[in-house]
Amino acid sequence: MAVYTYNMSATFGSTELESLEYDLESRTYLASFDGATTAASMAVVAALSDVLGVDPTEMEPLGSVIDTDALDALIDGHGAAESGLSVAFPLDGYELTVSTDGVVTVRERVGA
């Protein structure tokens, strides 16, 4: 079966994702961001708001499901890119995974 990928762009305030792709086969969005210039928490908000097609102020606050300072420290911390660490959590009916390689994965939760 072929995999179809659609490239989109997402911006939230001054936060711009490098890319936002949708994999039709896995029904997963993949957002790339530069951890040197974009906090992981801001990349999550930008990606999910674009996926939902809403203003970030209309979403459940990210801070209600995860400590954003801790997320940023884990993902954006010194030497984090080499660690291969990822953090997963639910938000607004989606399962989000943020990894130290600068990727936010957004997947619809089954039964959410």
Q: Supply the DSSP symbol for 93.
A: T
DSSP code for 3: -
Instruction: Using the structure block, give the residue that is written with the tokens 């940023």.
Output: 72
d(CA 2, CA 86): 27
For the beta carbon of residue 77, count every other beta carbon within 10 angstroms.
14
Q: pTM of this prediction? A: 0.83
- Residue-level pLDDT, tens digit, the chain, 112 residues: 344 455 555 555 556 788 888 888 888 999 999 888 889 999 999 999 888 888 888 999 999 999 999 999 989 876 666 778 899 999 989 999 999 999 999 998 876 5
